[in-house]
Amino acid sequence: MLPTFASHLDALGQWRADTDAKLASLARFAREHDLLDDASAEWFEAMRHRLSGEKLMVAFVAEFSRGKSELINAIFFSDKGRRMMPASAGRTTMCPVELGYDAEEPVGLSLLPIETRLEAASLSDYRRHAQAWHWIALDLADPDAMATSLGEVVRTRRVSTEEAARLGFWDVSRPEDNPPLQADGLVEVPVWRHARINLPHPLLKRGLVVLDTPGLNAIGTEPELTLGLLPQAHATVFILGADTGVTKSDLAIWRDHLSGPALARYVALNKIDTLVDPLSTPAEVADVIARQCDSVAQTLEIPAAHVFPISARQALAARLNGDEAGLGASRLGAFEQALSDGLLPRRRENLAEAAVQGAQRFQHQLGRRFGEMRRLYADQLLELRGLRGKSTGKVQLMLQRVQAEATEFEQCTARLQAMRSVHARMLKDVLKELSSDRLRGEVDVLQQVLGGSWLPLGARKAFIELCGRLRGLIEQAQARNDEVHAMLVASFAKLNAEFGFSLVAEVPLDVRKYAEDLNLIERNYVQYLGLSQAFRLAQPGFQEQFRRMLVSRLRVVFETVSNDIELWNKTASAQVDSQLRERRRNFKRRYESLDRIQSASSELDTRLQEVQAQDERVLQLQTRLATLVDELTAQARATAGLGEPAASGFETASGLPTEIEHLSLDLNSLSVSTAPDA
Ligand SMILES: Nc1nc2c(ncn2[C@@H]2O[C@H](COP(=O)(O)OP(=O)(O)OP(=O)(O)O)[C@@H](O)[C@H]2O)c(=O)[nH]1
Ligand SMILES: [Mg+2]
């Protein structure tokens, strides 16, 4: 019984490997024929890294005991022959649990002690400090032992209310959210702050990262989860219980954490097995389920088709027992299908378009270069043919002419030098305002304005102002890069006219689109600052965490902008370098040809043939390049087994087509331990 989501993710993984192989052939071809400039090499590497390493994060979010962990078991772990994640009555997941696979790290469970909350460092800081984590090896051959180890994620410890308060689990001003006080005056708090499971599960190996969360409305929720992890998930699954319907706290979680427009949201109405009533016919039960879905949809203000009735427990049991009928009754299939359709094709499409567009840009760039080479060969052929039947004196004259031309041409070097230094200076100006120092400075201004008192209203206003200033920085970078573009257009025109170059300025770069990423961060944080939970910002430790987290998220955006700008500018100067090299090579070749012809007139035909052969070789390269790019395009756009992107179905980030792509950058750095420093 092949789980649907699993098999689709597998198909996507295969597609990624195949597409990467095509990209690798293209890169190899370019390198072997000395056609790969630095900027293109960088692009190939980054694209291949994305294809092989990009993560897809699905977060499961809900109030306590709605069945998040059980659903994860049913979708991802039914092959283990038993329940892996603790999900039975009274076994509450106490910390966010991230399941993923990183081949560089050993298989096991890493646990970050809750006491680290007393330090200012953020979760992303800790990701880079292996020694801060408690590590437990997992024995893949022993599912029972593994399940026991995974039981760590529900472990609690009893502490005094003072300590609970320091750790962020107790607040006298919000008694309704506090954990129950026990007879001895102690309260239970989680032992761990965060858990990471590194497991070579086929799906996780394919780049899936699953995030299981503890009930979110609890007082102890990490801001990092709300602000760092959830907004970066490619999809969130919000789970409700058919036995409870939409409770007040379900609704609060939905509004506070899931109403952002950026996430692909899935709503599962779990535990439909509890609606089975021996006194009703199956049709009557189905009707009750349908009516409950309608009412959920109304309350959450989403279309009824977006609510999926399921029974996670029934699905898990059915998969463990190979019970087709039970699996059918659990209705998990339809939900998994929707999850695959809504998520994976879009994922593939984003990657495919990035790969195809990049390859086509590369082809175009080389096409120009090939054109230039062929133009020079044509000139040379003309020159050589003109020598037929001419005296050695004439050849001598020609030699002198080539020499004179070469000398004249070399005058361009001073001009190129001047252009390069102007370009470098302008580029430095563009990048200056995007540095992480500048960014940190801006965030510090926010802190100064607030002066330690992060009252929700003030914080919100100051934060919105900060985002405004940051958007200004991107706008300014855009304007300055436009100036670079104008400078290049003008300089290229002059160089082409005076020195016979055929330089073409790239199409202007657009970094304005990244302001959309800032908007997204702004929306998430503003939402958080407006939350009832913002009271937590009053605690000094959290403030520092908040700041670091903010800086690290903003930095991903700014680094993406800087990288784009650098790559664009590198591509522009690479063109100049390659044409300069080609021209010099050409002078040398012409000179050598004439020189040989001068000493033996029989050489003329040989030289003509040589130049012709060189020209043919360029043609062959061009054909080969076109074939490789076509093959890559065909592979990248092949949808066999992967399905088309869901037409509408979900509220995905369709309004912001580049968003998922950019976000995945942070995801990458999140799930391997190289998250940016704050
Ligand atoms: N009847 C029924 N019970 C279910 C179903 N799914 C989960 N449960 C039960 O509901 C309880 C809570 O499930 P969990 O998966 O632990 O819930 P959770 O959302 O992870 O809860 P927390 O970790 O506390 O946030 C457990 O006893 C499950 O066995 C279901 O489809 N039907
Ligand atoms: Mg759980």
HEC profile for 32-70? HCCCCCHHHHHHHHHHHHHHHHCCEEEEEECCCCCCHHH
* Ligand 1 atom at minimum distance from 63 CA: 25
Distance 75 CA to ligand 2 centre (A): 14
Cβ of 214 closer than 6 Å to ligand 1, yes or no, is yes
Distance 277 CA to ligand 1 centre (A): 20
Distance 131 CA to ligand 1 centre (A): 33
Give this prediction's pTM. 0.77
Q: For residue 150, which ligand has an atom nearest its CA?
A: 2
* Ligand 1 atom at minimum distance from 311 CA: 31
pLDDT > 90: percent of the chain: 49
User: pLDDT digit string (tens) for 47-61?
Assistant: 999 888 788 889 999
Structural domains present in the chain: 55-155+191-330 (3.40.50.300)
Q: What is the mean pLDDT of residues 206-219?
A: 81
Distance 59 CA to ligand 2 centre (A): 12
Atom 12 of ligand 1 has which residue's CA nearest to it?
A: 65
Distance 219 CA to ligand 1 centre (A): 21
pLDDT at 544 over 80: no
In contact, 645 and 654? CB cutoff 8 Å: no
Question: Would you give the DSSP letter of residue 492?
Answer: H
Ligand 1 pocket test: pick from 61, 63, 64, 65 the residue with the most ligand atoms within 8 Å of its Cβ: 65
* Ligand 1 atom at minimum distance from 92 CA: 24
Cβ of 62 closer than 6 Å to ligand 1, yes or no, is yes
* Ligand 1 atom at minimum distance from 91 CA: 16
pLDDT at 677 over 50: no
* Ligand 1 atom at minimum distance from 62 CA: 19
Sheet containing strand 208-212, edge to edge, reads 134-137, 108-113, 192-198, 97-100, 208-212, 56-61, 235-241, 264-270, 307-309
Distance 116 CA to ligand 1 centre (A): 29
Distance 83 CA to ligand 2 centre (A): 12
Atom 30 of ligand 1 has which residue's CA nearest to it?
A: 271
Cα–Cα dist 513/656, whole Å: 9
User: pLDDT digit string (tens) for 635-648?
Assistant: 999 876 555 544 33
Cα–Cα dist 542/117, whole Å: 8
Q: Determine how many CB atoms are found less than 10 A away from the CB of residue 336.
A: 21
Q: What is the mean pLDDT of residues 427-434?
A: 94
Distance 104 CA to ligand 2 centre (A): 28
* Ligand 1 atom at minimum distance from 213 CA: 25
Structure tokens at 533: 């939970």
236: enclosing H helix or E strand: strand 235-241
Cα–Cα dist 487/420, whole Å: 11
Cβ of 292 closer than 6 Å to ligand 1, yes or no, is no
- Opening angle at CA 315, ends 314 and 318, nearest 5: 85
pLDDT at 523 over 90: no
Cβ of 196 closer than 6 Å to ligand 1, yes or no, is no
* Ligand 1 atom at minimum distance from 90 CA: 27
Distance 232 CA to ligand 1 centre (A): 25
Distance 190 CA to ligand 2 centre (A): 13
Distance 54 CA to ligand 1 centre (A): 31
pLDDT at 348 over 70: yes
Region at 605 (left for phi over 0; alpha for psi -120 to 50; beta for the rest): alpha
Across 71-80, 115-124, 286-295, 594-603, which has the greatest mean pLDDT?
Answer: 286-295
Res. 675 pLDDT band, cuts 50 70 90? very low
User: pLDDT digit string (tens) for 149-182?
Assistant: 999 999 999 999 999 888 888 888 778 778 888 9
Distance 97 CA to ligand 2 centre (A): 9
Cβ of 271 closer than 6 Å to ligand 1, yes or no, is yes
When comparing pLDDT for 611 and 600, which is higher?
Answer: 611
Atom 29 of ligand 1 has which residue's CA nearest to it?
A: 88
Cβ of 93 closer than 6 Å to ligand 1, yes or no, is yes
Q: For residue 66, which ligand has an atom nearest its CA?
A: 1
Cβ of 89 closer than 6 Å to ligand 1, yes or no, is yes
Distance 321 CA to ligand 2 centre (A): 23
Closest by alpha carbon to 59, among 213, 203, 185?
A: 213
Atom 24 of ligand 1 has which residue's CA nearest to it?
A: 92
Strand pairing report for 307-309 and 264-270: parallel
Cα–Cα dist 311/272, whole Å: 5
Atom 26 of ligand 1 has which residue's CA nearest to it?
A: 88
Cβ of 68 closer than 6 Å to ligand 1, yes or no, is yes
Q: For residue 62, which ligand has an atom nearest its CA?
A: 1
Across 79-88, 251-260, 421-430, 461-470, which has the greatest mean pLDDT?
Answer: 421-430
Cβ of 274 closer than 6 Å to ligand 1, yes or no, is yes
Atom 1 of ligand 1 has which residue's CA nearest to it?
A: 271
Distances (CA, A) of 676 to 119, 437, 519, 549: 18, 13, 20, 10
Cα–Cα dist 486/188, whole Å: 64
Q: For residue 92, which ligand has an atom nearest its CA?
A: 1
Distance 41 CA to ligand 2 centre (A): 45
Cβ of 87 closer than 6 Å to ligand 1, yes or no, is yes
Q: For residue 250, which ligand has an atom nearest its CA?
A: 1
Q: Which of 57-66, 541-550, 604-613 has the lowest mean pLDDT?
A: 541-550
pLDDT > 70: percent of the chain: 89
When comparing pLDDT for 646 and 596, which is higher?
Answer: 596
| Confidence at residue 457, expressed as pLDDT on a 0 to 100 scale | 64
Distance 310 CA to ligand 1 centre (A): 12
Atom 8 of ligand 1 has which residue's CA nearest to it?
A: 67
Q: Determine how many CB atoms are found less than 10 A away from the CB of residue 577.
A: 13
Q: Which of 256-265, 361-370, 490-499, 649-658 has the lowest mean pLDDT?
A: 649-658
Classified as helix, coil or strand, 208 is strand
